[in-house]
Structure 1
Amino acid sequence: MHRHWNIARGEFRKYSSYQVAALAGLFTNVVFGLLRSAVMTAVFAERPVVGGFSQVQSLTYVWLTQGLMTVVQIYGSSEFAQRIQSGDIVTDLQRPIDPQLMYLAADYGRAAYHTLYRGIPPVAIGALVFDLVCPGSAAMWAAFAASLVLAVAIGFLFRFLYGLTAFWLLDPRGVALVAVILTNLFSGFVVPVSFFPGWMHAIAVATPFPGMVQTPIEIFTGAAQGWEAVQRLATQLAWAVGLLACGRIVYARGRRRLVVQGG
């Protein structure tokens, strides 16, 4: 555990070296947050509630998605796949630490940095411009924090899983592109999953993607409270465990393949 903690701290320090990039990204997040807020306001011009969300909740949703974008790494980036392609994976295999857990710890360090510098600031700016909602009790804040931790895990474990296709493909970027499209659509990042038509909503909730964005935001805005929030957290945990197990199985098979190719 101490080693994983040090890895997370090292990753936090690494991202702290790029302050100008963080400010540029923050500016972009705020601009798009304002544009998306204008669109969302127009949606509620004729009706008070859409998909179980009020206008205030939906505006909060917009700014939280802008904040969670980099925390959960919604656009995807699989360093592990690049290491497989380059052959640097051999170094990981020689280390006395599990690669999957090592990169998960590193991702938590990255997520912690982005929470402070790219997550909280756009939400705070959005709260200055619009009337937003927030959890009304310590229990809901705790539930949101737990949901966010699980969201980061689900996001990483899914990226790790599709990154493993580099063991079999010469170039896994096609798979990564499809994965990013599915993540953006079904996580609720573009629009809340509850806005989807019935058949599309059924498909979305049968995937791990809502656990990356939709679930923590529903808990934060109060769209999911009490027992419903507990159920959402349990679903997130189940997906995290399932993706962790799938990643280990696929990694083990890919590792055997790598050994065969290496002679």
Structure 2
Amino acid sequence: MYWEFSRKSFQRAAAYRFDAWIRVISNIMLLFMWGFIWYGLYGGQDTVEGVSFEAMLGYILISQALQGIHGAGTPLWEIQERVRTGDIAMELLRPYDYPLRMLFSDFGSIAFYFLTAILPLYGLLFYLLDTTLPSSLYQWSMFVVSAVLGYLLRYCIELTFGLFSFWLVETGGVEDIFYFSISLFSGSVIPLWFFPGWLATLAGWLPFQAIFFVPNSIFIGELTGQALIHALLGQVMWLIVFYAVLRYVWLKASRKVVVQGG
């Protein structure tokens, strides 16, 4: 049943091809922006903090690719809108688990976006540009595992934040906190090794670095050996914690449905 949601979501995404092209164009614009910013920050130096510009370029590319995949899922505002309009009541009446249904629906839209935008665009860029790539099948495998764990972790955190709308109805401030935390502490924009010591320590204790920083670092070879295994175990630990939090919040939220205006 849940895979049918993925199939329908894939078909729905395919019906809006213009949106896919806009996403590709926005990805290219962001890549140019971050590429020139980091080129300026390196100032012609081969390495900064022990990280080469080629490795940093690979980090930027894979980070933008993963952000594009994450962004193809259901945003926070859509969950909030369903609560506000009362559509969430129909979801509660249907014979499926709503968080699981949302996850499989996201799989469909992500699959379409990956095949039509991410794979051709970034495949071409990695082919044309002199960047750092995984050098072994083991490194590729660990990157894929880490990227999947990072996505599932983000899904659990984002849906938990979205379910707060059952109590708050208007969650604009909650969304701002979530997206700010993701941008700053996940390493999606600035790798954690460029953070000041105290901020890097703080980010290391938060779950957000497990979303982008860990898979990105594995991809360019900055995370290897025992440190890689420990990072993967950390991702699994955070995923278990936030999945438990999500299930608890959903249990409480499903018993409290307040529809604004009705």
Aligned to 2:61, which of 57, 60, 63?
A: 63
C-alpha deviations, 1:50-100, integer Å up to 9, x for none?
A: 344221110011111221222122997123332122211111111221111
Query: How big is the shift at 1:42?
Result: 2.2
**1:1-263 correspondence to structure 2 within 5 Å:** 3-45=1-43, 47-73=45-71, 77-78=75-76, 79-258=78-257
Number of aligned residues: 261
Provide the secondary structure at the position in 1 that maps to 2:56. Answer: helix
Provide the secondary structure at the position in 2 that maps to 1:168. Answer: helix
Provide the secondary structure at the position in 2 that maps to 1:190. Answer: coil
**Worse overlay, 66-75 or 248-257:** 66-75
Q: Name the CA distance, whole Å, in 2 between partners of 1:46 and 1:62.
A: 17
Check conservation: 2:80, 2:171, Cα contact below 8 A: yes
**Worse overlay, 113-122 or 74-83:** 74-83
Q: Which runs of 5+ in 1 are unaligned?
A: none
Check conservation: 2:153, 2:238, Cα contact below 8 A: yes
Q: Name the CA distance, whole Å, in 2 between partners of 1:9 and 1:54.
A: 42
In structure 1, give the amino acid aligned to 2:213. Answer: Q
C-alpha deviations, 1:168-187, integer Å up to 9, x for none?
A: 11311221122111111111
Q: Name the CA distance, whole Å, in 1 between partners of 2:7 and 2:228.
A: 30
The CA RMSD measured in Å over matched residues stands at: 2.5
Q: Name the CA distance, whole Å, in 1 between partners of 2:73 and 2:49.
A: 25
In structure 2, give the amino acid aligned to 1:43. Answer: L
Q: Name the CA distance, whole Å, in 1 between partners of 2:94 and 2:50.
A: 49
Query: How big is the shift at 1:128?
Result: 4.7
C-alpha deviations, 1:96-145, integer Å up to 9, x for none?
A: 21111111122222222222233233423433553112111111111111
Q: Name the CA distance, whole Å, in 1 between partners of 2:117 and 2:192.
A: 23
Q: Name the CA distance, whole Å, in 1 between partners of 2:28 and 2:248.
A: 40
Check conservation: 1:50, 1:195, Cα contact below 8 A: no
In structure 2, give the amino acid aligned to 1:202. Answer: T
- The two structures have a TM-score, normalised by structure 2, of 0.90
Instruction: Give aligned-pair identity as a percent.
Output: 28
Query: How big is the shift at 1:223?
Result: 1.0
In structure 2, give the amino acid aligned to 1:130. Answer: L
Query: How big is the shift at 1:47?
Result: 4.2
In structure 2, give the amino acid aligned to 1:102. Answer: R
In structure 1, give the amino acid aligned to 2:122. Answer: V
Q: Name the CA distance, whole Å, in 2 between partners of 1:16 and 1:101.
A: 22
Provide the secondary structure at the position in 2 that maps to 1:121. Answer: helix
In structure 1, give the amino acid aligned to 2:58. Answer: T
Check conservation: 2:58, 2:220, Cα contact below 8 A: yes
Q: 1:185 to 1:150 in 2, by over 3 A?
A: same
Q: Name the CA distance, whole Å, in 2 between partners of 1:194 and 1:212.
A: 16
Query: How big is the shift at 1:192?
Result: 1.0
- The two structures have a TM-score, normalised by structure 1, of 0.90
Check conservation: 1:73, 1:155, Cα contact below 8 A: no
Query: How big is the shift at 1:161?
Result: 0.6
